[in-house]
Amino acid sequence: MIRCDKNYREADYYNKKFSRPYKHSVYDRVYKVILSYLNPSVDTKVVELGCGCGFLARKILSQGVGFYCGVDFSQVAIQKAKEQCKKFLGDHHYLVNCRVEEAFIYQLDSTDFVSTEVLEHLRDDVKVMSMIRKGTRVHISVPSFLSDDHVRYFKSEDSVVNRYKKVIRFDKITRVKMSGRNYIFPFSGVRI
């Protein structure tokens, strides 16, 4: 592990960073790609694994999807997501605190499964992907870089395809530049 103490920041730094409008985040570019893959409509039924604080959830819900269930194992993230999405929540739109292993998520009557920047944190990512109902469209992103909480990263689009090709038939994969040589790979396909 390489440690870089000069990059350490106090809480004030992050308070300022996270109080800025989210549109300034690099993840918005990833979300735009995911939304273009998703092409949400009233007939779209979405399950989002790892919805975090609800930034992508808000964008999906504002498109008028017929059903949305966002899940995250962090109670704090779900609370923030509920604040972020409060005007959209209610009939057929939910935010739930649970772990990825909870089977009900994968049995929901969904047309689309979304997960951005989650699989790289899971030890059994392929097993999680195999729990998604066959025929469900998937829209996912993974990074090209290692972080202190990532258990894996991907050097190229080919490495993403090779990792998940037994459970996903790939339709599209994109490369979104982060900084330096770091990328995020949003991809779309169907669970096989």
With beta carbons less than 8 A apart as the criterion, state whether 69 and 46 touch. Answer: yes
pLDDT tens for each residue of 72-82: 888 888 888 89
Three-state SS for the chain is CCCCHHHCCCHHHHHHHHHCCHHHCCHHHHHHHHHHHHCCCCCCEEEEECCCCCHHHHHHHCCCCCEEEEEECCHHHHHHHHHHHCCCCECCEEEEECCCCCCHHHHCCCCEEEEECCHHHCCCHHHHHHCCCCCCEEEEEEECCCCCCCCCCCCCHHHHHHHHCCCEEEEEECCEECCCCCEEEEEEEEEC
Both tokens assigned to 149: 């909480």
pLDDT at 68: 96
With beta carbons less than 8 A apart as the criterion, state whether 174 and 186 touch. Answer: yes
Give bridge partners of residue 96 from the DSSP assignment: 71
pLDDT at 17: 42
**Cα separation of 28 and 22, whole Å?**
8
pLDDT tens for each residue of 94-124: 999 888 877 678 788 889 999 998 898 888 8
Cα–Cα nearest to 188, from 136, 139, 143, 151 = 139
Q: Give the domain ranges of the chain.
A: 23-191
pLDDT at 25: 61
Give bridge partners of residue 109 from the DSSP assignment: none
Class of domain 23-191: alpha beta
pLDDT at 22: 52
CB hemisphere CA count around 181 (13 angstroms)? 6
Binned average pLDDT, 10 residues per bin, the chain of 192 residues: 30 41 69 94 93 92 94 86 91 88 80 93 90 96 88 94 97 94 96 97
Q: Kindly report the backbone phi and psi dihedral angles of residue 156, in degrees, each rounded to the nearest multiple of 5, phi listed first.
A: -155, 170
pLDDT at 16: 43
**Cα separation of 112 and 138, whole Å?**
6
